[in-house]
Amino acid sequence: MNWLRLITLLLGLLYSQQTDAQYRILYRSQDLSIRPDLPDTADQITAIESRGALSKYLIVRYAHAKRQLLLKTSIWGFIDSRQAVWRSYKKELFLLLKYNSSWVEYAIERPIGTRLSAMYPAIMYSRTLDSKIKSNWGDAMKDVPPGFVVH
């Protein structure tokens, strides 16, 4: 086999392995149910980064090296390149783990005691996608109407 065919075959294989997974900003929780038919190629988001828990901004990086500072309070959350859903709440980013019609489960990285480098995932809860996030499942379910069955 000549080298040109081998290189063409390898490039074709690499090109076919690429996915259309990209970041997507969610302005409301209802945007989770909306699936875009085509990826956004005009202003494709390549990364969304937090400037830290104390910062009120996210850095949104677009293709063609364009950047934008985005207020954490101006969005509900975002979907990253792995299709994981992140919620922005009180200047922090929570990873959405489970969602059903009764409750929502999130995870957030917390430092262990006085060791700032060691982190553990803390599980948090909320009643709906838009309600307050609590560290205790019982506190999150306090507003459940009487007779409502929680699954």
Nearest CA among 38, 64, 60 for reference residue 50: 60
pLDDT at 150 over 80: no
* pTM: predicted TM-score of the whole model, two decimal places: 0.75
- The Cα angle at residue 110 between residues 106 and 116, in degrees rounded to 5: 165
Q: Is the Cβ–Cβ distance between 48 and 61 less than 8 Å?
A: yes
**What is the average pLDDT across 92-118?**
85
CA neighbours within 13 Å on the CB side: how many for 97? 11
Q: What pLDDT digit, counting tens, does each position of 34-57 carry?
A: 876 656 556 788 899 888 778 899
Torsion, Cα 85 89 92 96, to 10 degrees, reads -30
CA distances for 1 relative to 4, 6, 10, 25, angstroms: 8, 7, 13, 47
> Bigger pLDDT: 45 or 15?
45
Give 140's pLDDT tier (boundaries 50, 70, 90).
confident
Q: Are 126 and 133 in contact (CB under 8 A)?
A: yes
**Average pLDDT over the chain, rounded to an integer:** 81
Give tens-digit pLDDT for 62-100: 888 889 999 999 999 999 989 999 999 998 899 999 998
